[in-house]
Amino acid sequence: MTPFMNKDFLLKSETARKLYHEHAAKMPIIDYHCHINPMEIYEDRKYNNITEVWLGGDHYKWRAMRSCGVPEYYVTGDASPEEKFQKWAEAMPNLIGNPLYHWTHLELQRYFGITEPLNGKNAMEIYEKCNKILAQPDMTVRGIIRKSNVKLICTTDDPADDLRAHELLAKDPTVPAVVLPAFRPDKAMRADKADFPQYVERLERVVGYPINNVTDMKKALAERIAYFDERGCSVSDHGLDSCFCEIMDDSALDEIFARAKRGEAITQKEQNAYHTALLIAVGKEYYKRGWVLQLHFGCLRDNSAKMFRQLGPDTGYDAVNDAPNGWGLAHLLSVLEDSDALGRTIVYSLNPSDNAMVGSIIGAFQTESALPGQIQQGSAWWFNDNKTGMEEQMRSLMNLGAMGTFNGMLTDSRSFLSYTRHEYFRRILCNLFGQLVEDGEYPADLDSLGQMVENISYYNTLHYFGFDKLIK
């Protein structure tokens, strides 16, 4: 029997073990997409207890707790930190095979030196051990970043944000990693949302003039892109429910915008047209500046209307969208390409059934660039960042693309302890490569394989995003 999550966790062959321990494990981390608060890095937040860092804002865990029958009082309610941790610990044994089980124990091992499995019986003992360690001077947010060997972090920032935290971080030579903003303009592009008029008002206050039509909105976003660019941003991110490409003339777009700004309903076709026009406009700005465009799609958000009214978004009530995406993605990329708006682009789908579709479509757009893997299939995302999901995404990428150019893993997380997700990914990667060697499908050239593992773990990302200019 293999010991529980020992040093060779998930590494089932000698080749896999060599690739991981001699190559992957040594690589630093670049976390180019996450949802952490940059001000917490600047202020070097210190956590009062493990519940704060583990269960505060982590809708992955909230969802799992609900699935185990934990009342909402202990999930997002007013229960004490001890009570919430106890309920999380009691849920753990039910999560066999769930990545949360692995992530939880990787974090306990790497940051707290705790190797015993967490359960309801030992919950309070482990709670106290973790809290004692969190009280140590080196377990602040910056300390955790140092321990995790993180070299660069990209947060997620709205066009209307002032980026004050990033300005402060840029002036602080003691920050252990480069921290950069990433441009996330979804709220400006979702004219179909109820809060769109309020968002337009907010953006108007930031740019200092009224936004009365689509031309004004394009101008405002271009100015904010320039503002972000001056503060080190080189990455954008767009969340789409599904892929689309709908072209309308300017007069029709202005009429759609005017109705949406008044709070009137627009059709899905009209929303898609407005969204397409803005994607092309900002795509041109990204292309000019050499930014990376990230497209995340395939999510059904806020499915429980009752719980959305009670808790708001990002609280664990989202799901995989099975809407067809192939036609929309192919046409959108083609329109961007024809508009000189398609540069380095990473495409993620939340639906694992889209893996082959994404892989085949991005292969049609690897044009006019000396950069390997200019159009990337993003790593297994959200509901797919588990062992099966990662293996399926990487096998599909091998089948249809060039695995050696892959940018690898990101956390997509709100927790500073989530950097162990990179370790989880790297172990799965090395095991996958090791199996190909053991099965005689790839030569046992461990030098070349080791370099490929290091590239996927770190160097590909370093060069693809141009971060090699910032990380020495």
Report pLDDT digits (tens) over 149-171: 999 999 999 999 999 999 999 99
Contacts of 97 (CB under 8 A, 6+ apart): none
What residue type is 176 in one-letter code? P
Q: Dihedral of CA 211/217/223/227: which sign?
A: positive
Instruction: Report the run of H or E that residue 422 belongs to, with start and end.
Output: helix 420-438
Between 251 and 1, the higher pLDDT residue? 251
Q: What is the mean pLDDT of residues 286-300?
A: 97
- DSSP H or E segment with residue 340: none
Q: Is 33 helix (H, G, I), strand (E, B) or coil?
A: coil
Q: Are 155 and 38 in contact (CB under 8 A)?
A: yes
The mean of the pLDDT values for the chain is 97
**Short-list 8, 9, 26, CA closest to 450:** 26
Element (H, E) at 51: helix 50-55
CA-CA-CA-CA dihedral for 7, 11, 12, 17, to nearest 10: -80
In tens, the pLDDT along 240-282 reads 999 999 999 999 999 999 999 999 999 999 999 999 999 999 9
Taking only the tens place, the pLDDT of each residue in 70-116 is 999 999 999 999 999 999 999 999 999 999 999 999 999 999 999 99
Please give the pLDDT value at position 367.
82
Would the pLDDT of 369 be above 80? no
Confidence of residue 370 (pLDDT cuts 50, 70, 90): low
Confidence at residue 46, expressed as pLDDT on a 0 to 100 scale: 97
| pLDDT for the residue numbered 372 | 83
CA nearest neighbour of 430 among 396, 372, 390, 460: 390
The dihedral through the CA atoms of 247, 249, 252, 258 has a sign that is positive
pTM to 2 decimals? 0.97
- The residues that bridge with 222 in the sheet, in sequence order, are none
R_g (Cα) of the chain, nearest Å:
23
Mean pLDDT of 30-49: 97
Q: Distances in Å between the alpha carbon of 272 and those of 48, 276, 290, 327?
A: 45, 6, 26, 14
pLDDT surpasses 80 at 339: yes
Confidence of residue 357 (pLDDT cuts 50, 70, 90): very high
pLDDT tens by residue, 186-242: 999 999 999 999 999 999 999 999 999 999 999 999 999 999 999 999 999 999 999
d(CA 18, CA 12): 11
pLDDT on residue 77: 97
pLDDT exceeds 80 at position 22 = yes
**Mean pLDDT across the stretch 407-418?**
95
CA–CA separation, 359 vs 365, rounded Å? 11
| CB of 27 closer than 8 Å to CB of 458 | yes
Question: What is the predicted pLDDT for the residue at 324?
Answer: 95
**CA of residue 318 relative to chain centroid, distance:** 15
Residue 57 has a pLDDT of: 87
- CA neighbours within 13 Å on the CB side: how many for 464? 28
353 has a pLDDT exceeding 90 = yes
Measured between alpha carbons, how far is 82 from 64 in angstroms, rounded to an integer? 18
Q: According to the model, what pLDDT value does residue 320 have?
A: 96
The pLDDT assigned to 371 comes to 79
- Calculate mean pLDDT across residues 53-68: 95
Q: How far is it, in rounded angstroms, from Cα 314 to Cα 319?
A: 11
472: pLDDT strictly greater than 80: no
* Range name among 52-61, 73-82, 386-395, 419-428 with the lowest pLDDT average: 52-61
